[in-house]
Structure 1
Amino acid sequence: MEVEATITISLSYFLSTATMIYAQHLSLGFPELPIDLKYPGVGIFFIGITGNFYHHYLLAKLRAKGDKEYKVPHGGLFGLVICPHYLFEILGFVGVSCISQTAYSFSFTLGTICYLIGRSIATRKWYISKFEDFPRDVKALIPYIF
């Protein structure tokens, strides 16, 4: 990964984390919500972060050192969707939203979901155009559905 991309992505995650913490701070003293989603949120977050890490690991192993050729990913959920790392990233953000239960975190998660849906559709179209033998039954983001 290029240094500029690494800095941009890291800065984005840092700023989103800082603003979520600030939104959480601003909500101190407000009445608690009737449904506590913290514990399910922690479970969803860990499923998301673990699945995201695993699929990024599979992507990192895809090319040998110095190899510049594009390849179709395999293993994990790559046989069902072309962007399982996006699916698990969405689950991670849903978990964070459940933990914090603020309007800001829910709106940030919704924006992230919309962005990653668009990226997964574009990624699937790119794979179909690049590889003639790309399996047509592999979905963009959600296994068997989308």
Structure 2
Amino acid sequence: MAIPSVLLNFLFPPPPSLFVTTMSVVGLASLSNAGYMEIKGKHMQYSKFLNVGVAKKEDDTKLSSRNGMLLSYTPAFLVGLASLLAFPDQDLRFMFLASALTVHFLKRVLEVLFLHKYSGSMALESVIIISLSYTFSTATMIYAQYLSKDFPEPLVDLKYVGIGIFVVGIIGNFYHHNILANLRKNGEKEYKIPKGGLFDLVICPHYLFEILGYVGISCISQTSYAFAFTLGTILYLTGRSYATREWYLSKFGDKFPKDVKAFIPYIF
């Protein structure tokens, strides 16, 4: 994958790996397409979009939302943890990257176990797609970093900036997940219009901070694969946020504040 020379000030050269190059292209293309499908009304089958935008099949296998989310996030967490245990003597950037990915998915697993409240199920097909995406992207990001260890460092070092952005992202994401969890009292399953934090400006601030987390991870890594995956994630969550706002508008009508955007305050 050729990279314009100006970007080499910020990125490691692409490693000589057909696997990493292929994963960069496939990952970006598939996430971009998934975001486009969200806008078109063909959704990943979980949360409020279960059985929305697809033909319902009687033989569809479903899991509880809790188990589905655990299966979605746990393999990627284990990949990150295994990389820390298997490669303890790597350079600082590698350790920062593997640690950030491990913390990112550990947080998700802990939220599934102790924070989120559930009202439905997840299609097994969606669970498999999400789990494979997170697992392979985490493994590939770590592998691309390992292959870059003998390359000269980028002229502009972004890893400490990346740590700061990652911390802001993970805290902001948790804060807004906590607001969502507290919307429902025990036993309640109905959706409500969230309020508080950035929910007063956008309907998906948790996605905005998730993107910041991945931007931080990309800056820690400074590999072309990490930035390609982050770009794909941005495009997917843009589509998912747009679809989420449309869903709230259709469900709550005039009760939904029209000045609340999708996930970028005042803009989108």
Which residue does the alignment assign to 1:20?
Answer: 141
Whether 1:140 aligns to 2:262 is yes
Q: Distance between the aligned counterparts of 1:89 and 1:57, measured in 2?
A: 14
- What amino acid sits opposite 1:118 in the alignment? G
Q: Distance between the aligned counterparts of 1:10 and 1:72, measured in 2?
A: 29
- Structure 1's consecutive aligned runs of 4 or more residues displaced over 3 angstroms after TM superposition are 9-15
* Aligned-pair identity (%): 68
Which residue does the alignment assign to 2:93?
Answer: none
- Number of residue equivalences: 146
1:95 corresponds to which of 208, 216, 238: 216
Which residue does the alignment assign to 1:7?
Answer: 71
The CA deviation string for residues 41-60 of structure 1, in whole angstroms up to 9 with x for no partner, is: 11100000000000001111
1:32 corresponds to which of 149, 153, 160: 153
Unaligned runs of 5+ residues in structure 1 are none
How do 1:67-82 and structure 2 match up within 5 A?
Answer: 67-82=188-203
Q: TM-score, normalised by structure 1?
A: 0.95
Q: State the SS of the aligned residue for 1:35.
A: coil
- What amino acid sits opposite 1:100 in the alignment? S
Which residue does the alignment assign to 2:178?
Answer: 57
Root-mean-square deviation (Å)? 1.2
Q: Larger C-alpha radius of gyration, 1 or 2?
A: 2
Whether 1:122 aligns to 2:186 is no
Q: Distance between the aligned counterparts of 1:10 and 1:118, measured in 2?
A: 25
Which residue does the alignment assign to 1:111?
Answer: 232
Structure 1 residue 14, shift from structure 2 partner: 4.1
- What amino acid sits opposite 2:66 in the alignment? E
Q: Distance between the aligned counterparts of 2:169 and 2:204, measured in 1?
A: 13
Question: Using a 3 Å threshold, how does the CA distance of structure 1 residues 10 and 114 change in structure 2: closer, same or farther?
Answer: farther
- What amino acid sits opposite 1:109 in the alignment? T
Unaligned runs of 5+ residues in structure 2 are 1-64, 76-130
Structure 1 residue 121, shift from structure 2 partner: 0.1
Q: Distance between the aligned counterparts of 1:46 and 1:14, measured in 2?
A: 21
Q: TM-score, normalised by structure 2?
A: 0.53
Which residue does the alignment assign to 1:86?
Answer: 207
Q: Distance between the aligned counterparts of 2:158 and 2:260, measured in 1?
A: 33
